[in-house]
Structure 1
Amino acid sequence: MAFYRRVGEVPPKRHTQFRRPDGGLYSEELVGEEGFSSDSSLLYHRGLPSALVDARPWELPDQSLTPNTPLLPRHLKLHDLFPGEEHKAVDAVTGRRLVLGNPDVRISYAVSSLSSPYYRNAIGDECVFVERGTATLETSFGALEVGQGDFVVVPRGTTHRWVPTGEESLRTYVIESSAHIAPPKRYLSRYGQFLETAPYCERDLRAPAEPLLAEGADVEVYVRHRGPAGPAGTVHVVPEHPFDVVGWDGCLYPYAFDVADFEPITGRVHQPPPVHQVFEGAGFVICAFVPRKVDYHPLAVPVPYYHSNVDSDEVMFYVDGDYEARKGSGIGRGSVSLHPGGHTHGPQPGAVEGALGAERFDELAVMIDTFRPLELGEGATATDDGRYAWSWSMGRRP
């Protein structure tokens, strides 16, 4: 983000002495991307951010992936992953179940009621979509109150914790990048300001507004990091609480964006998926299909045309409403469809005729297009309905 913020106390000049009330120096930490050559923020700690007193391995949830062979479109029923009261013993970090992944991105899902441990992803940025529930996201930059419909972007290396609030369990759809996640470049000026043609702007983004300044000693921080064969985990024990920042400023920080503030772009005929884009990462994009008026040409066909994404796999998470193009397929709230590159896909039989004359679609879905093939995590193999691939041929199969 090139949108500058300043929170709490910072000295008038960077990299100069900044003293505590007792005369000691605060510890200045630069958090930056691309080796001092991109966005960064300066944080001022009461303690030493590099201090450790212990470390031990953390065994991550199952991270194994299996190829999507034979090549098939799939329907995954994520709401089946946490049946009954399982969510009462789960937190939003250690309870994640891997659904899909490739070297660029991993998609997980969790239903949780417990506060997570303090956590830092040292591999890449995370974009967490809150499907249901509310939570406080506590971070070294301060706290964010988040809820249903929020995209929450957490930069790589940010220590944070998810604390569910309210009575409803927290449902989170987690997009873990191997690099960074940001607004699409085409939405921004050459200096980083959102353009008038962008479907959202700086006013729609929420970031921490004051320091958190928690107290504690010998605090455990769960760190996800690179390993010899993929993601690995370590628990660091730090002598002082990681939320000891008295102030910070810069252009790199966690923020939330409510999908209800995304202003859809429509036209006389059906618009291609890039008009729905919200964020981009290295090797993938994130889009949101929100309630909207649809095509107004007198002969318009409102649902998508059949298409073959020869360069990408398409993943659609159906959050709410009635998704016109998928009627009759069994897909509903909590479903994920995977349409892999190499398979032509589009509306279910009868959906085109059924949508003619529609003036509005009341649907909410989050789409991820990846530019390398996705493989199946254990969450996908556990919830694949086994029938979706044959839904265009009225259930006929070998």
Structure 2
Amino acid sequence: MIDYRKLGYISEKQHTFCEFEGKMVAEHVITRNGFNDNYSILYQKRAPTHEVNAEIYKSENPFFPSYNKLSNNELKRRHFKTPNYSKEGNLLEARATLLVNNTCSVGILNQTKNDHFFFANADADELYFVTEGNGILQTVMGEIDYASGDYLFIPKAIPYRFLPSAKSNMFIVEGKNNFGIPKEFRLAQGQFKLDAPYNHRDFHAPSRLMELKCNENYPIIIKKDNVLTKHEYTDFPYKVVGWDGWYWPFSFSIHSYQPKTSSVHLPPTVHTAFSGDNFYIMNFVPRVLDYHPKAIPCPWPHSNIDCDEAIFYISGDFTSRKGISNYSISFHPSGIPHGPHPERYEQSIGAKRTEELAIMVDTFEPLFVTEAAAMLEDKKYHYTWDSHEHL
């Protein structure tokens, strides 16, 4: 996680008797990698173990949490017109997994309704990017107000739900291990380096605890091995009065990201924002372009032989692409060369600045296309590098 945070009431010393409003509270330790990694301690009015029912939850959504990979995963460049995805509703009704491998997945969500449950992903940490919309991310560790342009990071197994004030379209990355701030951006003590593309002040933990009414009792639906289990209680199990530690959900605005520039074009790794085991996430944000007198700001055609690339286009005229609309996803697998459309390469000469906004996910394990993504595919995209092709 980012650093140490605290919210609400906690004991003077951990693992000792703690009383709140005249009653003893339960200490709930949430920790990773056994007991050898980041942890937080929640102080709750009772231990969260008083279940009265646990059963498989049958989702009617064929695209999440289950998915079907394409039986014929052709080696070609692809474009998914994700704005055409029309399914709306709550988190479990309107989410779709589009690209997947053993370490991460890429998906989308059109959240239009409040969740009437809390959801916990016991398979992976989750990073949502809000392309449009606003509302409240309500977690058992407190509430975060979100708006367009925000990343929302939810650590593995932390229950949460969305309360949108307006339709919230989101891009989602799941990461199974070591998902968060890249080690290369940290000092040995954990503080961000001075040349990191952000600082501690840019990351916002929950600002207030949840205030549930006494009679409010929501089930918690947990995803484990892509199977949903619904857990029900006699009363809501996470009546948290305070917590502290290094393990907490956060928001981060993409507009707070500090881009790096050069005299000539640099590889996209200079735009890294987050990482996990075998994948990186990069931010392409408005910035000054390469300033050598003969610079070609557009990326060079390249064969990144050991890496798959998926780009989510948010806004602006992307320097290297034509025919891509906002909120679409391009997917360029390893094994074949890719790069800018030919005319874009030449047209970029002399450009001083770009206003593009996009997110790229590079993976070091092959990504597989799901049937949900195939339904949104632009079949002509692979052939648009022919300079005679007109879109």
TM-score normalized with structure 2 length: 0.94
Letter in 2 for 1:91: N
Could you tell me how far 1:237 is from its partner in structure 2? 0.7
Q: What's the % identity of the aligned pairs?
A: 33
**Residue 79 of structure 1 corresponds to which residue in structure 2?**
83
Could you tell me how far 1:26 is from its partner in structure 2? 0.6
**Residue 326 of structure 1 corresponds to which residue in structure 2?**
321
Moved >4 Å (runs of 4+): none
Q: Distance in 1 between matches of 2:168 and 2:2?
A: 30
**Residue 262 of structure 1 corresponds to which residue in structure 2?**
257
Could you tell me how far 1:67 is from its partner in structure 2? 5.5
Could you tell me how far 1:68 is from its partner in structure 2? 5.9
How do 1:1-398 residues align onto structure 2 when only pairs under 5 Å count? Answer: 1-22=1-22, 24-60=23-59, 61-62=61-62, 63-66=67-70, 69-82=73-86, 86-87=87-88, 90-116=89-115, 117-166=117-166, 169-215=167-213, 216=215, 218-226=217-225, 231-327=226-322, 330-394=323-387
Task: After superposing the two structures, state which structure 1 stretch, 91-100 or 42-51, moved more.
Answer: 91-100
| Contact 2:121–2:223 (CA under 8 A) maintained in structure 1 | yes
Instruction: Provide Cα deviations, 1:177-213, integer angstroms capped at 9, x if missing partner.
Output: 2224211111100111000010101000111123213
For these two proteins, the number of residue pairs brought into alignment is: 382
| Contact 1:318–1:366 (CA under 8 A) maintained in structure 2 | yes
DSSP-derived class of the 2:337 partner: coil
Instruction: Provide Cα deviations, 1:211-266, integer angstroms capped at 9, x if missing partner.
Output: 2132345421111112xxxx111111122224410000001100000000001000
| Contact 2:177–2:277 (CA under 8 A) maintained in structure 1 | yes
Letter in 1 for 2:358: A
CA RMSD after TM alignment: 1.5
| Contact 2:2–2:181 (CA under 8 A) maintained in structure 1 | no
| Alpha carbons of structure 1 residues 10 and 311: separation in structure 2 relative to 1, 3 Å | same
DSSP-derived class of the 1:356 partner: coil
Could you tell me how far 1:140 is from its partner in structure 2? 0.7
Task: After superposing the two structures, state which structure 1 stretch, 366-375 or 174-183, moved more.
Answer: 174-183
Structure 1 gaps of 5+ residues are: none
Letter in 1 for 2:169: R
Q: Distance in 1 between matches of 2:120 and 2:193?
A: 32
| Contact 2:150–2:253 (CA under 8 A) maintained in structure 1 | yes
Q: Distance in 1 between matches of 2:135 and 2:216?
A: 24
Could you tell me how far 1:353 is from its partner in structure 2? 1.4
Letter in 1 for 2:337: T
Could you tell me how far 1:378 is from its partner in structure 2? 2.4
DSSP-derived class of the 2:218 partner: strand
Q: Distance in 2 between matches of 1:217 and 1:263?
A: 42
Letter in 1 for 2:279: F
| Alpha carbons of structure 1 residues 324 and 255: separation in structure 2 relative to 1, 3 Å | same
| Contact 2:144–2:206 (CA under 8 A) maintained in structure 1 | yes
TM-score normalized with structure 1 length: 0.93
DSSP-derived class of the 2:320 partner: helix
